Structures are given as C-alpha cells and as structure tokens.
Structure 1
Amino acid sequence: MLRSQFEEELLNLHNQFYEMGMMVSNAVHKSVRAYIDHDKHIANEVIERDTEINDMEVKLEKKSFEMIALQQPVTTDLRMIITVMKASSDLERMADHAVSISKSTIRLKGETRIPEIEKEISDMSDYVKKMVDNVLIAYVKTDEKDARMIAKMDNRVNEYFNSIYSNSIESMKSNSETVISGTDYLHVATYLERIGDYVTNICEWIVYLATGKITELNTNHEE
C-alpha cells in the first residue's frame, strides 16, 4: 500500500477522533445544562446520542487494528494509532459520565434544590468543558506544552469538587429536605471530576505522541 494512502488513512483517523471529541464535549455540556434547567428532553437526547459515540469508538478501534495489521507501522505512525485508540476510549468513558448526569436529571422530581450549589456545578461544568475543548485542540496540534498545562487545570476541578462536596454535606446536615438533591449533587460533581481525570489521561497520550514516553501528569487521578 502506498505511503500517501496510509497518510490519508491516518489523517482520517485523526479527523474522526476529533469529531468524536466534539460530540463528547457537546454531550458533557448538554447533560449539565439539562440538569441545571431540569430539562428532561435534552437529557434524553444526550442518552440517545450516546450510541453514536460508542459506535464511533468501535469504528476507530477497528480501523486502528486494521492499520496496524496491514501496514505494520513503526515509531511515530504506530504512536499515532495507539494514541487514537487509547484516547478514544477515554472519550467514550467521558460520554458515559454525561449519560449518568442525564439520568440524574430524569430522576430528579420536585426535590428541594440548592441554587448556590447548582451555580457551582454549572461553573465546574463550564470549566471541564473548556478542558475537553482545549485537549482536542492540543491533540490536533500534538502540542505537548499545552497538554501539560491542561493537565494542571485538573487541580481546579478537584477544588470545585471539594467545595461542592462540603457545601452539599453542610446543607444536608442543616436541612433534611435537601438530602435527596444534595446526594445527587455529589454524584454529578463526581462524574464531572472523573471527566477531568479522563482529560488528563488524554493529555498523557498527547505527551506520549510527542515524546514517545508514558508520563504520569497528575498523581491523583484514576484510570
């Protein structure tokens, strides 16, 4: 197979990954908007579109395996394909968390809400969405410096999480009517915090793509 055709397939892989990333970013954003606005219609939309994201990941993975098997690529090319495979599975997990947030929205009946905490959740989600969008651009540019910077943004996500956590616990202690929504805020904040962790994972893959080295960027994140 000709080099130029291989390069075209690599570019396609790249573009599909980016497209999947945009869909995931959109899902994260919509799921939180729906949650704050009690919009079950949008929440359902996020849940329905998740199959598209899953299909994209399967397609990317299949294509990656095919390219490795048929081309037996070396060094940089192989790194690129591995990065797409690994990072797309991180994206897919982010989308799963967006689905979980959407399911929380659908569960929420007329419970007592806490506006200050919802404001914090909204801010946290805007911040996480910014990380997701930035990491996609860093990926397209294979920008190692940006990737390292974006991974550092995750500290702020953890601060949001800790603040929402303690405010929710306080609120539940002082007013038992907020127990159901308070517990829910904890879940949503946890999902957002995890999404931040997956962004950090993708940052690590970008560093790998740029340098060939597997690097731990944040010591406190989960796989």
Structure 2
Amino acid sequence: MQHDHTLRAFDDDMGQLDALIAEMGGLAESQIREAIEALQYGNHDLASEVIARDKRLDAIEAEVERLAIQLIALRAPVASDLRRVVAAFKISGMLERVGDHAKNIARSTLKIQDFRFGPLAQVPAIAEIAEGMIHSALDAYAAQNVGLAEHVVARDDQVDALYRELIRNLIDHLHEQAANVITATELLLVARNIERIGDNATNVAEAVYYAATGTVMPDRHKVVE
C-alpha cells in the first residue's frame, strides 16, 4: 500500500512538472511567432511586448527547478523516473533559452532601419521550421515518443542549410547596398538566433530520447527522416 501511495505521489508531482513544461513550451512558441511577426511588419509595439514577456519564462523555469529538486529529495526516483525528472529540468532551461532568442529577435527589430531589405523575406520560412521543431519536440516529450524526437533532430539540417543561404544573400546584398549595413547586421543576429532555436529544439529532442531509452541518441546524420 505504501508503495502504491509513493507511486501516486510521484505521478502527481511529475504531472505538475509536465504541466509547467507544457506552459513554458506554449509561451516559447508564441514568443517566436510574435517576434517574427514584429520583424515582418516592423511592429515595434509587438516587439516590446515580446521582450517584456520573457520574464514569465524565467519565472516558470525557476518553478520547474524548485519542483524538480523537491521531487528528487522527497521521492528519490530511480532509473527511468529519475531520467524523466532530469529531462524536465534540462528542457526548462532549453525553453528559457528559446525565449531569450525570441527576445533577441525582438530587440533587433527595434534597431532595423529598412524593413523592405530583400533578405528579410527569407526569415519567416526559417523561423517557421524552427518553431515547428520546438512544437514537435514538446509533443515528443509529452508522449515520450522516441521516433518523433529523432525526426526533430533530423530537421535541424534544414534550418542550418537555410541559415547558410540567408548569410550568403546578406553578404551579396551588402555588396550592392552598403548603406544597409545596420539592417544587415541585425538580420545576421536574427538569423543566428533562429538557428540557435533549432539547436535548442534538437537538444530537447535528445533529452526526450535519453529519458525514454536511457541511451544517447545516435549521430543525427545517421537518422533517417
């Protein structure tokens, strides 16, 4: 009976952790979408809202850390249960960094001088893939779905390829329009932040894989999409 009670208590606590991760994930996704929308339309008010909301992600991350430490101390989970708790803790940090990258994109929006600058049109497509990776990685976490986690990691190459293409186009445009150096510089930062969002999605997926299997995910270049 005591064992059953302990299991129920762990499941209840883990449910709280999962709910916090889901809340963080939803907020991180909306931060990405609205940061890119602000960039597309030069909406400084929306960019400022994205920057201000970042504090909410920081607060939830702190709550995840508190609950995870409490859960380990009180429930002493082992094996797969311990991996789940550690994964939630790590993923909260990754999502907090995703929020930071969205905030950085919003900050760049406030500095960009020419929203008609050609390469800017490439940004939403890259961001959509990166956001989709975050969404799928969170779905993989919720379902402990190893196959979905593998597919998230496989998509990172697509983000990297589009990122390199955008960098090349920015350099070409600068040769033709040197006056747009400030806008180009900020777009370089935007592109880098989007690429890092994709990397964090990959990290989330790898954490899910380890939590579910107890093994490190194979080299991502060997994963078949």
Q: TM class by shorter-chain length?
A: over 0.9
Look up the match of 1:75.
79
Q: Please say if 1:8 is aligned against 2:5.
A: no
Alpha-carbon distance between aligned partners in 2 of 1:15 and 1:139, rounded to the nearest angstrom? 11
Query: CA contact under 8 A between 1:151 and 1:217: conserved in structure 2?
Result: no
Aligned-partner residue type, residue 91 of structure 1: L
Gaps of 5+ in 1: none
Matched length? 217
Range with bigger deviation, 165-174 or 4-13: 4-13
- Aligned residue for 2:144, secondary structure, equals coil
Match for residue 179 of structure 1? Answer: 181
Counterpart position of 1:103:
107
Structure 1 residue 23 and structure 2 residue 27: aligned? yes
What residue in structure 1 maps to residue 51 of structure 2?
47
TM-score (norm 1): 0.93
Distance 1:98 1:12 in 2: 26
Who is 2:153 aligned against? Answer: 151
Equivalent-residue separation in structure 1 for 2:180 and 2:220 (angstroms)? 34
- For 1:114, the equivalent position in structure 2 comes to 117
Are residues 216 and 98 of structure 1, via their aligned partners in 2, closer, same or farther at CA, if it must alter by over 3 Å?
farther
Q: CA deviation at 1:178?
A: 2.0
Offset of residue 14 of structure 1? 0.7
Q: In 2, are the aligned partners of 1:112 and 1:178 still within 8 Å (CA)?
A: no
For the structure 1 residues 33 and 217, does the alpha-carbon distance in structure 2 shift closer, same or farther, using more than 3 Å as the test?
A: farther
**Cα distance, 1:216 vs. partner?**
5.7
> What is the DSSP-based 3-state SS (H/G/I as helix, E as strand, rest coil) of the residue aligned with 1:215?
coil
SS in 2 for 1:113: coil
CA distance in 1, matches of 2:177, 2:220: 36
Task: Give the aligned partner of residue 129 of structure 2.
Answer: 127
Q: Which amino acid aligns with 1:161?
A: Y
Deviation digits for residues 24-49 of structure 1, max 9, x if unmatched? Answer: 01101111110111011111111111
For the aligned residue pairs, the C-alpha RMSD in angstroms reads 1.4
**Normalising by structure 2, what TM-score?**
0.92
Percentage of pairs with the same residue = 28
Question: Cα offset for 1:145?
Answer: 0.7
Displacement of 1:215? 3.0
Q: 1:113 Cα shift?
A: 3.5
